[in-house]
């Protein structure tokens, strides 16, 4: 992200305020495969009694792009950043897939009015309520 966009737009991700805060208070910890950078508070503790931790996104701010190993470190689930350990993904972990809601690739279960599938027939186990 360019310096001009950081100065004049807050919605694109990192701002000049974030840059100043990281220069004054942050200690660079590492970078993930997507180019996101991770920082920790140099001294003292944050409001929760632990050092604050930040991520600056390489592209658009999208928290779903934080890999699992860094997510655990950001949220104080683990204290050791992935750069200081031999992290190996679990076999059940999958690659990131963007949220497709609102697009043609969105998940549409059978019976949805937005799918070409036919709606399943009623099973007959439903009885409408009738007031007495």
Tokens of 10: 């807050």
Tokens of 126: 């439903």
Assess if residue 38 is contained within a domain: yes
Residue 1's contacts (CB-CB under 8 Å, 6 or more residues apart) are 12, 13, 14
Q: Cα(41)–Cα(25) distance, rounded to whole angstroms?
A: 6
Assess if residue 33 is contained within a domain: yes
Contact 27, 37 (CB under 8 A): no
For 22-61, how does the pLDDT look when each residue is reduced to its tens digit (9 = 90+)?
777 788 989 988 889 999 888 777 777 788 888 888 877 7
Q: State mean pLDDT over 14-26.
A: 74
Name the domain count of the chain. 1
Assess if residue 7 is contained within a domain: yes
Q: Report the 10 Å Cβ neighbour count for 118.
A: 8
For 102-121, how does the pLDDT look when each residue is reduced to its tens digit (9 = 90+)?
888 888 887 777 777 776 67
Q: Cα(39)–Cα(29) distance, rounded to whole angstroms?
A: 5
Structural domain of 24:
1-120
Model confidence pTM above 0.75? no
Residue 50's contacts (CB-CB under 8 Å, 6 or more residues apart) are 76
């Amino acid at each position: 992200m360019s310096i001009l966009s950081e100065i004049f737009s807050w919605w694109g991700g990192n701002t000049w305020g974030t840059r100043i805060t990281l220069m004054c208070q942050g200690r660079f910890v590492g970078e993930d495969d997507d180019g996101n950078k991770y920082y920790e508070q140099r001294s003292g503790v944050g409001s929760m009694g632990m050092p604050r931790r930040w991520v600056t996104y390489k592209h658009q701010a999208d928290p779903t792009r934080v890999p699992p190993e860094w997510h655990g470190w950001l949220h104080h689930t683990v204290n050791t950043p992935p750069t200081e350990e031999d992290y190996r993904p679990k076999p059940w972990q999958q690659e990131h897939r963007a949220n497709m809601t609102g697009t043609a690739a969105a998940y549409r279960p059978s019976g949805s009015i937005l799918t070409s599938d036919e709606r399943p027939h009623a099973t007959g186990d439903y009885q409408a309520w009738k007031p007495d």
